[in-house]
Amino acid sequence: MSFTVGLTGGIGSGKTTVAGRFAALGAGVVDTDEISRRLTGPGGEAMGPLREAFGARFVAPGGGLDRAAMRALAFEDPGARARLESILHPAIRAEADRALAACRAPYALLVVPLLFETGGYRDRVGRTLAVDCDEALQERRAAARSGLAGREVRAIMSAQWPRWRRLQAADDVVWNGADPGALDAQCARLHRDYVARGALAD
């Protein structure tokens, strides 16, 4: 298993974009959102237990999870949210652990949106990296990408740590408040540092 850096950041901050930069530089990327989408997609391993827990109403015609319906239920019903998490979180963690164990890159980047908030992955990572940009920009980017209304993006943001708290907790920060070209030098510098840390940890 490689030295592992936990990458986090608020919705729309640019985690996926930044993880892609590190992957291009040679990092092994394990993205818990991507794992979640796979597990809840058509034929995904979590679909059986989810159908059993919530009923066929939450299964989309293709066989994957009806995300909009599930998101609405989870927002209004804390019990349903807890049941959803009790099915998904252990399955995602097990998949992430498998992917990390198989990683042969100089280091692994584990992308976890709520790395600090939930604490469930803190023991897996040797270092933490926050992707940061101001909150108005986060909202604009997230809304443009997902089609969610500004109000919905703000509701998600309010369940996440505020920017200052994440910045205070993270070992490293990538500032993604400008055009993507501003990421090049920041990612290259951190990549060199992580490769060195990975070599020390071997």
The least distance separating ligand ADP from the CB of residue 198, rounded to whole angstroms, comes to 23
Structure tokens at 100: 């990390």
Tell me: does residue 67 bind ligand ADP (CB under 6 A): no
Q: Helices 32-39 and 78-102 meet at what angle, rounded to 10?
A: 110
Per CB under 6 A, the list member of 2, 13, 36, 160 interacting with ligand ADP is 13
How many C-beta atoms lie closer than 10 Å to residue 199's C-beta?
11
Judged by CB under 6 A, the stretch of 13-21, 49-57, 116-124, 151-159 that binds ligand ADP is 13-21
Residue closer to ligand ADP, measured from CB, 16 or 186: 16
- Span 126-155, contacts to ligand ADP by CB under 6 A: 141, 145
Piece in contact with ligand ADP (CB under 6 A), picked from 5-13, 53-61, 72-80, 99-107: 5-13
Using the minimum distance from each CB to ligand ADP, give the nearer residue, 17 or 186.
17
Strand partners, 110: 6, 30
Displacement of CA 77 from its chain's centroid (Å): 23
E-strand stretches of the chain: 4-9, 28-31, 108-111, 127-132, 172-175
Alpha-carbon distances, residue 87 vs 48, 96, 133, 146, 159 (angstroms) = 10, 15, 32, 25, 20
Q: Which of 4, 5, 6, 11 binds ligand ADP (CB under 6 A)?
A: 11
Closest approach, Cβ 141 to ligand ADP, in A, equals 3
Binding positions for ligand ADP, rule: CB under 6 A:
9, 11-17, 141, 145, 176, 179-180
